[in-house]
Structure 1
Amino acid sequence: MTIEEKNPYTVFGYGSLIFKPPPHTIRQVPGFLKGYVRRFAQKSHDHRGTPENPGRVVTLIHTEDWEAFSSSDPFPDEDVVWGVAYTIDPQYESEVRDYLDYREKDGYTIEEIDVWSFEDGREVVVAPKCYTYVGLPSNPSFIGSQPIESLAERIWQSVGPSGRNKDYLYELSAAVRKLAPESHDSHLYALETRCRKLDAERGHAPAK
């Protein structure tokens, strides 16, 4: 395969990459993955928490892996994850790969996936052989399923170098709603509802 024939470097964002895209993006396409769930099942020691008080951020989990936790998960039947496929300018591929490897260093590994969307009512692949960062259940920062109430409490009170954990949740929820008429995520929205209830009940927010 020649350089001209090489597939462009495309990365799928399903967390903060949706509202904070990678640099040197030349194309972005909303779409979804099949056979995954998105859950706040990953500790954040470096962005939305600290080593002493880690926050919580999202990861992708294969549906079959998540089934081990589904007895305590209120949304076991959702297996589509909406996000954005970003195509990177080939001149900056190496730079962006290094940037993302560092940004996603806290327990994430790379997987190759296909990104789907709808065209004329049909499901079609809009970004084949796309890369994404996944916090596998085997990584040390993976925490599995937690009740919505305790998870929301942790998110609400956690703060890290990148800001308040709850702001990450709020920005992500808002961004997913805007992706497409079909985009949805019950797990995100339930956590957002609970955290906003905590805002109303306590009348203050953790300091940045």
Structure 2
Amino acid sequence: MIIGVTGGIASGKSTVARAFAALGAPWVDADDVAREVVEPGEPALEEIADRYSRAKESPVLNDDGTLNRRALREIVFADPAERRWLESVTHPRIRTRLLEHLARLEAEGAPYVLLVSPLLFESGQSKMTDRTLVIDVPEALQIERTAARDDVDEAQARAIVAAQMPRAERLARADDVLDNGGSEEAMRRRVSELDRRYRQLTSHRPETC
């Protein structure tokens, strides 16, 4: 069984995933895979570099040939059309690689596998899952954490949050919700509850040939 885990930026998705992993549930992080597909030598990076090669003031490639993520982020968050173009280049490649990673983990016999993705619903990756878990925190906390973590000002942090799916819509699509605005202890208690639930669901799934 594949559990899709999502939430707004800085909601603590990776922290929650590590708590699940401590209980024996492995995970694949779509952000990690998204970085893989734009590494030097990857076709997606070549397309990105070709499109923005004229942006001399804010080049999208660093001197060593790696992606300048901050420069690219400034471009795509300032122009929705550019964000859509970038997604058209990266999302199909991310999906293919995610399926490869998930298949490997399933073959290893895990009770269930987590697919952690900030764009689980927006990208259609939720179709790859059997159940979805939304990690939820208040928007003000998202903005505060984003500004501190990514070293951006409050205005840019707000723009990043605003560019994502509205909180209410994300919650409406969830099968399960984990409130991550409190203590770590409370989060771990909820993870334990969900782990028991997911193992129970897995044990009642019919065998397939």
TM, length-normalised to structure 2 = 0.26
Structure with bigger helix share is: 2
Compare relative contact order (CA 8 Å, sep 6+) and give the higher one, 1 or 2: 2
TM, length-normalised to structure 1 = 0.26
